[in-house]
């Protein structure tokens, strides 16, 4: 776990360096790593705004079925552990929301940077919950090689919640995966930068960007 904390500390500091004042940062995290992510971000200088619950349709149960494991190694007490497991069904992910410090207060920051408030009042007049649910991937959003692809509709929702419609803002995803954030940002009219380390995912990003820009008749460039 020490390496994980060091890793989170390193990228949190870099994020603090490149974000503009008032920038909102949303980090998906498992229930086991949430506390470390939150502390790394706060130690880097961000301050806590909320932790959203992204409620998924299904979670893959990981961990050990104790009875089965004991049975496999020939433990004669295996049966007394029937029904015991090392984890619960994993049905939600945390989204840690932090912000680069304000200039004095929300109002001065909004006037200076156009950032900070949440689009909390919905078109039907209701108030946005901090539990996000009911998002699912479209048929064209399944790329088998990548196991943690987020639904495009979920990322669009996050951008709409935190980013006022002003195309001077730049959406950064330093862990771009299959590029879901990039596509959502482009669809909403923002400039966007994505960074991804794995060639196989870069290929998927290129394919998705190619399809997006093909539809609107524009070219794009990828930098190594």
Q: Which residues bind ligand SAM (CB under 6 A)?
A: 146, 148-150, 175, 177-178, 180, 195-198, 201
33 vs 180, beta carbon nearer ligand SAM? 180
2 vs 197, beta carbon nearer ligand SAM? 197
Minimal distance in Å, beta carbon 84 to ligand SAM?
Answer: 30
- Of 151, 132, 155, the C-alpha closest to 141 is 151
Minimal distance in Å, beta carbon 204 to ligand SAM?
Answer: 8
Residue 177 is given by DSSP the state T
102 vs 202, beta carbon nearer ligand SAM? 202
Minimal distance in Å, beta carbon 77 to ligand SAM?
Answer: 39
Minimal distance in Å, beta carbon 150 to ligand SAM?
Answer: 4
CB 114 within 8 A of CB 168: yes
Rounded Cα distance between 145 and 122, Å, is 36
Tracing tokens 């149960």 back to the chain, one arrives at 61
22 vs 177, beta carbon nearer ligand SAM? 177
- Of 186, 178, 185, 180, the C-alpha closest to 203 is 178
44 vs 70, beta carbon nearer ligand SAM? 44
Residue 30 is given by DSSP the state -
Rounded Cα distance between 158 and 21, Å, is 19
Minimal distance in Å, beta carbon 196 to ligand SAM?
Answer: 5
Minimal distance in Å, beta carbon 7 to ligand SAM?
Answer: 8
Name the closest residue to ligand SAM (Cβ). 177
Rounded Cα distance between 44 and 6, Å, is 12
Tell me the β-bridge partners of 94: 29, 53
CB 132 within 8 A of CB 154: yes
List CB contacts of 219: < 8 A, sequence separation 6 or more.
213
129 vs 148, beta carbon nearer ligand SAM? 148
Residue 90 is given by DSSP the state -
């Amino acid at each position: 776990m020490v390496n994980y904390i060091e890793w989170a500390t390193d990228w949190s500091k870099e994020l603090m360096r490149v974000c503009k004042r008032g920038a909102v940062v949303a980090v998906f995290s498992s229930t086991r790593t949430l506390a470390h992510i939150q502390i790394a971000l706060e130690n880097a200088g961000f301050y806590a705004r909320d932790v959203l619950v992204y409620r998924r349709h299904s979670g893959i149960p990981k961990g050990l079925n104790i009875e089965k494991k004991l049975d496999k190694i020939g433990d004669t007490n295996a049966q007394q552990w029937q029904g015991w497991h090392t984890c619960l069904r994993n049905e939600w992910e945390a989204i840690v929301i932090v912000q680069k410090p304000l200039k004095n207060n929300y109002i001065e920051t909004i006037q200076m940077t156009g950032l900070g408030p949440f689009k909390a009042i919905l078109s039907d007049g209701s108030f946005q919950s901090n539990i996000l649910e009911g998002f699912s991937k479209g048929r064209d959003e399944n790329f088998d090689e990548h196991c943690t692809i987020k639904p495009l509709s979920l990322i669009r929702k996050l951008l709409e919640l935190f980013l006022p419609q002003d195309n001077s803002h730049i959406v950064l995803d330093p862990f771009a995966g299959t590029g879901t954030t990039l596509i959502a940002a482009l669809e909403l009219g923002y400039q966007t930068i994505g960074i991804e380390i794995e060639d196989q995912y870069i290929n998927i990003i290129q394919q998705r960007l190619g399809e997006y820009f093909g539809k609107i008749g524009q070219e794009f460039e990828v930098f190594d």
